[in-house]
Amino acid sequence: MHDRRPIRAKSGTNQEGTSAHNRRVIVDALRLNGALSRADLARATRLTKQTISNIVDELERDGLVSAQGVIRRGRGQPSTPYSLVPEGAFAIGLQIDRHVTRALAVDLLGTILTRAEAPLPANGPQGGVKVILDLIETVRRDLRLLVRDSERRLVGLGAAMPGPFGLETAVDDPWMMSAWQSFPLLEMLAAGTGLEVGLQNDAAACAQAERMVGAAHGLDHAVCLYLGYGIGAGLILGGELYSGANGNAGEIGMALLSPGGRASPLEHRASLAALYQHLEIDPADPGVYAAVNELAATDDRRIQFWLEEAVTDLRWSIHLIETIFDPQTVILCGGTPEVLARRLMEAMEPLIPSLSQRSGRRVPRFQLGITDPWAVALGAAAEPISRAFDPRFSAILK
């Protein structure tokens, strides 16, 4: 008897010159579903059995997939499922924030293997470059100690920092990392590490993390509402991360969204930075996450006041996101302390009616994702894995 469970997979193509795409499609199917047989893969991807066999053999030789135990079901032919090998590839993720930098290493499945953080000096790139390169080397060295041939399987370095990118801003603008924005970061990282480097904003990085190991895993249309020092939206559209013409898609924190007509950006009112100002807490304090989490666990009036103000704006943000992008779900994620994030989720109900309010939903309109100070670095590490192994239909159309 054949296994007829539904398998989530993108379609491959049997045309010539598309083997690289088909290879990515198979890796993607195994990431989404776990172990699958060659027959399962052929049925789900609509590729020929011969094409599947050739690619699976190639992936096995490359150390990216491995055969599991033979499965026998009834009178049918026995099948051999294949699964991804976690040690088949590694990537490093880097977060550059206003007061701290974090780096970590992940395997092919997104498991964090080692991580480290360091405070960033106040003089921007002038003093921060060495701190960042030393931190990356620390993580890289630890990874080499854990896995002997990790360097050979290191597919790249992903970096993430607050956006928007490419704007002319005042040097003393407290909301913008102006010195870092004008610094040749990609060139510095590539020269200092010898790795292929990608850069994205922190909201996009959190969307990458949710897509790899979080609430957006297996979804083709999701928007990740990032709530950190600022506010942003990571857009997963048609199964791919959408970054826009200048890497600034989803910079919803810059929008003037308040229904009250106030002419100040959303993130000036509803972000963690606004909360820090309200609480008179220094965001550079290493204990700020724990301090806010502890306050949120009590009936602190200052937290409640901020929640009441923030909820009004964020409800309208979700309504706008749903109206424009028609996602399967909106995911609240980022470095928000977990207790505070859960209180915020509760206070957001009921959501403003929108096109997404319909019966028969398989996933909720609004849900909680990863709330962790390391979420941005994790998403940054997911970017090189995605770049190396995820199907890219925009590329095959070229």
What is the structure's pLDDT at 254?
Answer: 85
What is the structure's pLDDT at 172?
Answer: 47
What is the structure's pLDDT at 388?
Answer: 95
Q: What is the mean pLDDT of the chain?
A: 90
**For range 364-369, the mean pLDDT:** 96
Ordered strands of the 90-96 beta sheet = 112-119, 100-107, 90-96, 154-161, 197-201
Task: Return the sign of the alpha-carbon dihedral for residues 288, 292, 295, 301.
Answer: positive
CATH numbers and ranges of domains, the chain: 19-84 (1.10.10.10), 89-207+378-396 (3.30.420.40), 213-371 (3.30.420.40)
Say whether pLDDT at 242 is over 70. yes
- Phi, psi values for residue 72, rounded to 5°: -115, 125
308-332 confidence digits (pLDDT tens) = 989 999 999 999 999 999 999 999 9
189-225 confidence digits (pLDDT tens) = 999 999 999 999 999 999 999 999 999 999 999 999 9
Check if the beta carbon of residue 105 is closer than 8 Å to that of residue 90: yes
As a three-state string, the secondary structure of the chain is CCCCCCCCCCCCCCCCCCHHHHHHHHHHHHHHHCCECHHHHHHHHCCCHHHHHHHHHHHHHCCCEEECCCECCCCCCCECCEEECHHHCEEEEEEECCCEEEEEEEECCCCEEEEEEEECCCCCHHHHHHHHHHHHHHHHHHHHHHCCCCCCCEEEEEEEECCCCCCCCCCCCCCCCHHHHCCCHHHHHHHHHCCCEEEEEHHHHHHHHHHHHCCCCCCCCEEEEEECCCEEEEEEECCEEECCCCCCCCCHHHCCCCCCCCCCCCHHHHCHHHHHHHHCCCCCCCCHHHHHHHHHCCCCHHHHHHHHHHHHHHHHHHHHHHHHHCCCEEEEEECCCHHHHHHHHHHHCCCCCCCCCCCCCCCCCEEEEEECCCHHHHHHHHHHHHHHHCCCHHHHCC
Place of tokens 């849900």: 367
- pTM for the full predicted model: 0.91
pLDDT > 70 fraction of the chain, expressed in percent and rounded: 90
**For range 328-345, the mean pLDDT:** 95
pLDDT > 90 fraction of the chain, expressed in percent and rounded: 72
